[in-house]
Amino acid sequence: MFDYKLLAALAAVVEQAGFDRAAQRLGLSQSAVSQRIKLLEARLGQPVLLRATPPKPTEVGRRLLNHVQQVRLLERDLQAQVPQLDDSHLPERLRIALNSDSLATWWAPAVAPFCAAHGVVLDHVLEDQDVGLKRMRAGEVAACVCAVERPLGGARSEFLGAMRYRALASPAFVERHLRDAPPAEALLRAPAIVFGPDDQLQHRYLASLGLEGPFSHHLCPSSEGFVRLIQSGLGWGLVPELQVQELYRSGALVDVYSGPPIDVRLYWHHWRNGGELLAEFTRQLQRSAGQWLVG
């Protein structure tokens, strides 16, 4: 068997984003945590962590974390069968990567009944929908919501439904930037809002109108901030319909251009041998997500 004291130290340093906090979480001194990591590296003959701020797992470190994540889920099943094994009175945690727009809209009502019924708490990790799988590959999460269909080896993916996006702006912004020129070309010159370097939705929308090339844009890595910037007339951007139903109905936000909305299909990825808790979570999510997502 592996030495799980060492692996737990590695997991704590990565999950807590530092040696200090890992030590706190484990109830050890910082130097004890540090020694465990060094011992692990000595046994493996290679580093498991890059000593950056925060520390990052190396390739082999990632594989170990992936393994720890799966062992934890299996332990949870065993504890349900043999309750005496349970040495902690804190509730179970599930670590899940998802896109910010899901967390800002349908996610909480979709998973709330499960969490309340099973006493589970969630660690949410934000990752753009096109790249969320890298958190699973890195072994940092038990499951992930993302726009990629193809599962990793050892995992399954299930279609949850699509989020519908509209290209919106404030009426004052449209009046100012998009009124005189033909709207499609004016869009390239008017400032956009982009969530972050991985967000290609605005690019995809412009391409669907036959527009290519660089465009001026604000960067705003927050779903709520994104809508606030649009409302305040700083730019246009693609927003989930779910997030702005009221603002859209009242005319506070309007379409920048006629044309169909963009649907982003979302998939639920989870480890195949992720244990009974994750399987039950998956079943409930599949039943409930359709209330908010487009089939």
Q: Which residues bind its own copies (CB under 8 A)?
A: 16-18, 21, 50, 52-53, 56, 90-91, 100, 103-105, 107-109, 111-112, 115-116, 121-126, 176, 191, 197, 214, 216-225, 228-229, 231-235, 243
Residue 219 and residue 207: Cα distance in Å, rounded?
19
**What is the closest distance, in whole angstroms, from the C-beta atom of residue 291 to its own copies in the complex?**
13
Return the H-helix or E-strand segment holding 196. none
Between residues 54 and 183, which has the closer beta carbon with respect to its own copies? 54
Between residues 53 and 258, which has the closer beta carbon with respect to its own copies? 53
**What is the closest distance, in whole angstroms, from the C-beta atom of residue 260 to its own copies in the complex?**
26
Return the H-helix or E-strand segment holding 175. helix 171-177
Contacts of 39 (CB under 8 A, 6+ apart): 6
Between residues 156 and 218, which has the closer beta carbon with respect to its own copies? 218
Between residues 40 and 239, which has the closer beta carbon with respect to its own copies? 239
Angle at the Cα of 221 from the Cα atoms of 92 and 217, rounded to 5 degrees: 165
Between residues 231 and 286, which has the closer beta carbon with respect to its own copies? 231
105 CB-contact burial (10 Å; exposed 0-12 / middle 13-18 / buried 19+): buried
| Residue in 153, 151, 132, 166 with CA at minimum distance from that of residue 244 | 166
**What is the closest distance, in whole angstroms, from the C-beta atom of residue 228 to its own copies in the complex?**
4
**What is the closest distance, in whole angstroms, from the C-beta atom of residue 91 to its own copies in the complex?**
5
Residue 16 and residue 181: Cα distance in Å, rounded?
51
Look up tokens 């195949």; give the residue. Answer: 272
Could you give the count of Cα atoms lying within 13 Å of 162 in the half-sphere of its Cβ?
10
**What is the closest distance, in whole angstroms, from the C-beta atom of residue 212 to its own copies in the complex?**
13
**What is the closest distance, in whole angstroms, from the C-beta atom of residue 25 to its own copies in the complex?**
9
Between residues 7 and 227, which has the closer beta carbon with respect to its own copies? 227
C-alpha distance across the termini of the chain, in Å:
45
Between residues 103 and 156, which has the closer beta carbon with respect to its own copies? 103
Torsion of CA 14, 15, 19, 22, to 10 degrees: -140
**What is the closest distance, in whole angstroms, from the C-beta atom of residue 70 to its own copies in the complex?**
20
